[in-house]
Amino acid sequence: MITFGTDGWRGVIADDFTFANVALVAQAIADYLTEQGVADRGVVVGYDNRFLAERFADTVAAVLRGRGIPVLLSERPRPTPVIAFAVRHYGAAGAVMLTASHNPPEYSGLKFIPDYAGPALPRITRAIEEHLRRRESGSVLYPAEPGAGSRGAEVRSIDPDRAYHRHLAQLIDFAAIRRAGVKVVVDPLYGAGIGYLETALGGDGVTVEALHARRDPLFGGSLPDPSEKHLGELRERVLATGAHLGLGLDGDADRLGVIDADGSYVSPNQFLALAAFHLYEVRGEHGPLARTVATTHLVDRIARAYGHEVIETPVGFKYIAQCLLERGAVAGGEESGGFSMRGHIPEKDGILAGLLAAEMVAVHGKSLTSLLEDVMRRFGRVCSERVDIRTAPAAKERVLERLGSLAPASLGGRAVEERVTLDGVKLVRDDGAWVLVRASGTEPVFRVYTEAGTPDDAAAMRREVRAALGL
Q: Looking at the 3D structure of the chain, how many domains does it have?
A: 3
* Distance in angstroms (rounded) separating the CA atoms of residues 217 and 77: 12
Residue 96 in domain: yes
Residue numbers of the domain that contains 462? 383-469
Residue 3 in domain: no
Claim to verify: residue 368 and residue 454 sit in the same structural domain: no
Strand partners, 333: 291, 339
Contact yes or no for 419/379 (Cβ under 8 A): no
* Distance in angstroms (rounded) separating the CA atoms of residues 292 and 348: 13
* Distance in angstroms (rounded) separating the CA atoms of residues 459 and 383: 10
Claim to verify: residue 72 and residue 212 sit in the same structural domain: no
Q: Would you call 441 exposed, middle or buried from its count of C-beta atoms within 10 A (0-12, 13-18, 19+)?
A: exposed
Q: Which residues of the chain have pLDDT under 70?
A: 6, 139-151, 442
Claim to verify: residue 158 and residue 230 sit in the same structural domain: no
Q: What is the DSSP string of 88-117?
A: HHHT-SEEEEE--TTS-TTEEEEEEEETTS
Q: Of the candidates 113, 137, 163, which is a domain's last residue?
A: 163
Claim to verify: residue 245 and residue 388 sit in the same structural domain: no
Contact yes or no for 51/3 (Cβ under 8 A): no
Closest CA to 432 of 402, 407, 457: 457
Residue 217 in domain: yes
Q: Classify 337 in phi/psi space as left (phi over 0), alpha (psi -120 to 50) or beta.
A: left
Q: Is 393 helix (H, G, I), strand (E, B) or coil?
A: helix
Claim to verify: residue 400 and residue 413 sit in the same structural domain: yes
Specify the CATH number for the domain of residue 69: 3.40.120.10
- Using CA atoms, how far residue 2 sits from 8, 16, 23, 94, in Å, is 10, 8, 12, 20
- Using CA atoms, how far residue 239 sits from 108, 242, 243, 293, 304, in Å, is 34, 5, 7, 35, 36
* Distance in angstroms (rounded) separating the CA atoms of residues 381 and 366: 19
pLDDT at 143: 56
pLDDT at 5: 76
Claim to verify: residue 374 and residue 390 sit in the same structural domain: no
Claim to verify: residue 201 and residue 146 sit in the same structural domain: no
- Using CA atoms, how far residue 318 sits from 127, 273, 313, 338, in Å, is 16, 20, 9, 10
Q: Would you call 307 exposed, middle or buried from its count of C-beta atoms within 10 A (0-12, 13-18, 19+)?
A: exposed
pLDDT at 350: 98
pLDDT at 148: 44
Digit-coded pLDDT (tens) for 187-241: 999 999 999 999 999 888 899 999 999 999 999 999 999 999 999 999 999 999 9
Residue 210 in domain: yes
Residue 175 in domain: yes
Claim to verify: residue 362 and residue 456 sit in the same structural domain: no
